[in-house]
Structure 1
């Protein structure tokens, strides 16, 4: 009888050494890009000792990154079992050649004007740093925020070949630590001519915002939503608690991810604090 009792107890004890992890992906949208499909082959969770727990997708997941805006996200892993412990990051693996058999038009990029383009992957995987821990029987949710404006590259050769290059810029945050910023931009700022409006987010209050080439570059950027003669709105989601500076420019068209010193002048900025689980409001100017 002791053997009959021991086996189920061992299984229970083994299960108690594990927790669960959920991973979701979201996006900061890119200029003029309406659709941007990327194929994700798997997600790996990195332990403190540098080892990875792999989660493979068969077939790969084809995700429209451009559609994940305004706080929307798509789940990559849902309550996946993982050994409890301390972790240092996550790794996304891509499948550059994957096209689902039911997809007729394989071009993954669709611009706002309806034209399409191909996509070349600069790298087939990317590691994103994030220190967190999962205790026994605990659940953790991690958000991966892709900055699509900084991730889609296009030089003159790419333009001639009708393609973009995808070099992902991603940050990670625990969902329980996340807050957001919702803001508006006044009409007198956006009604200048010419104006290609965008709002940039810097880490820290009263951050230096003279150019994009400073030693402390912006954390993220957003195009304006609901843009009209009365102004516009914006939202930065999935931010760690702390101080931030938001800054508005009409020179967003000069922001080239491959230019080390783009000429971008900021016309207004505000500092504010973000708290976990809350939305902070700000108005520019």
Structure 2
């Protein structure tokens, strides 16, 4: 299923300003930044020739329970090639996006086929107006209508995702940045407002899969004290595993989705998943899941689904019926023709992108985009080429605003904004 692309009129009708950022060339930058799992971004894929390619970037979000809006005011996008300075695309005017409106397969467009050098790239950075300065340029609107300032620690707030990708010569690279607000927001940082420690994934739109499904009403009635107040959520874990609450480790869910009641049916939608095998499980306790602490959540209806062959429709009812394990949609049946592996076979074609776990065979630049790291890679570097700052093992100190593992903040050396040409948005 093609994701709903909510095109931003301003970004489409007004040219973007392309700015060369002062990140230096060679030296530390050429060594590649470290990911959260300790792997390197080098070798994201080979680039045939020294020409140009096109880069597109969308944004989407996984939901939270206690907010009705999460507004982030974006000012531009930067991408860093393996060699040379970062390229920054400044928006003509700040763009305010409600991340909570971008759930499931919905996304908003940030960059549309901008022309960039064909190269291997190390990271993507989203520039934003999100300082703790008393201005509601970025903010969270709670369900009671109150608004709280949304802020990123540091003097130069940004959202940096260290995840290597390739823009092929004369080809295109089309990606979506997936925010996980359930893991990112801290409503009690000790300094007022809501602090964001961004947790993000970079997903190739060429290979992204979607799961649409329902949770059986009987299962919800058995798990929820009052389903009229909370329909719960579906947690998605990489591989076949035992579900757990958010704990800030490798066992955390890749994605979560709120269950929504519609004419007596309880539906959920999960978008922008890499092909692979996943464990899905329902809980009515998602609203009490604190990403900073271990919580006792009750999971039910756990099932395994494989989406190597394509999108899936799924019913979570707690049964072991094989018919629940990945139902391929009509759009991908032709692609899977001739493939002996069924949609629930874990031995699917190794050439397809996996679920983000230990992929050591990067795709060559053959006209298709490739990403060598689909896991969460938050960064709080203070220099474009400082790989050591990507260590996610250090905690954020909310009382001082010092940069920690996932806050995405940076103390970048002053980046001038002089026009260096324009790219069509």
TM bracket, shorter-chain basis: 0.7 to 0.9
Q: Structure 2 CA distance, aligned partners of 1:177 and 1:107?
A: 32
* 1:199 correspondence with 2:240: no
Query: Which has a greater percent of strand?
Result: 1
Cα drift, residue 45 of structure 1? 1.4
- SS of aligned partner of 1:257: coil
Contact 1:190 1:231 in 2 (8 A): no
* 1:217 correspondence with 2:217: no
Query: What are the residue-to-residue correspondences of 1:15-164 with 2, within 5 Å?
Result: 17-49=51-83, 51-96=85-130, 108-122=139-153, 124-155=157-188, 157=190, 161=192, 163-164=193-194
Deviations 1:155-188 (A, max 9, x none): 2857xx5x32222211011100101111111112
Q: Structure 2 CA distance, aligned partners of 1:67 and 1:132?
A: 27
Q: Structure 2 CA distance, aligned partners of 1:69 and 1:89?
A: 24
Of residues 312, 317, 338 in structure 2, which corresponds to 1:280?
312
Of residues 189, 214, 228 in structure 1, which corresponds to 2:219?
189
Query: Which has a greater percent of helix?
Result: 1
Instruction: State TM-score, norm by structure 2.
Output: 0.56
- SS of aligned partner of 1:145: strand
Cα drift, residue 221 of structure 1? 1.1
> Judging changes above 3 Å, is the alpha-carbon distance between structure 1 residues 275 and 16 closer, same or farther for their aligned structure 2 residues?
same
Deviations 1:127-169 (A, max 9, x none): 22333322222121110111122222112857xx5x3222221
- What is the match of residue 269 of structure 1? 302
Cα drift, residue 194 of structure 1? 5.0
Runs of 4 or more consecutive aligned structure 1 residues displaced over 6 Å after TM superposition: none
Cα drift, residue 125 of structure 1? 1.9
Q: Structure 2 CA distance, aligned partners of 1:268 and 1:212?
A: 18
Instruction: State TM-score, norm by structure 1.
Output: 0.81
Higher relative contact order (CA 8 A, sep 6+): 2
Cα drift, residue 112 of structure 1? 2.8
* 1:253 correspondence with 2:299: no
- SS of aligned partner of 1:66: helix
Cα drift, residue 51 of structure 1? 4.4
- SS of aligned partner of 1:176: coil
- What is the match of residue 239 of structure 1? 273
> Judging changes above 3 Å, is the alpha-carbon distance between structure 1 residues 267 and 118 closer, same or farther for their aligned structure 2 residues?
same
Of residues 186, 191, 198 in structure 2, which corresponds to 1:168?
198
Q: Structure 2 CA distance, aligned partners of 1:156 and 1:97?
A: 14
Cα drift, residue 212 of structure 1? 3.6
Contact 1:107 1:118 in 2 (8 A): yes
Contact 1:16 1:137 in 2 (8 A): no
Deviations 1:23-51 (A, max 9, x none): 11111122132211112222111223474
Q: Structure 2 CA distance, aligned partners of 1:90 and 1:23?
A: 10
> Judging changes above 3 Å, is the alpha-carbon distance between structure 1 residues 269 and 50 closer, same or farther for their aligned structure 2 residues?
farther
Deviations 1:68-122 (A, max 9, x none): 12322111111111000122331122222599xxx9x767322233232222223
Unaligned ranges ≥5, structure 2? 1-48, 318-425
Q: Structure 2 CA distance, aligned partners of 1:40 and 1:139?
A: 23
- SS of aligned partner of 1:73: strand
- What is the match of residue 20 of structure 2? none
> Judging changes above 3 Å, is the alpha-carbon distance between structure 1 residues 82 and 118 closer, same or farther for their aligned structure 2 residues?
same
> Judging changes above 3 Å, is the alpha-carbon distance between structure 1 residues 98 and 25 closer, same or farther for their aligned structure 2 residues?
farther
> Judging changes above 3 Å, is the alpha-carbon distance between structure 1 residues 36 and 207 closer, same or farther for their aligned structure 2 residues?
same
- Give the number of aligned pairs: 260
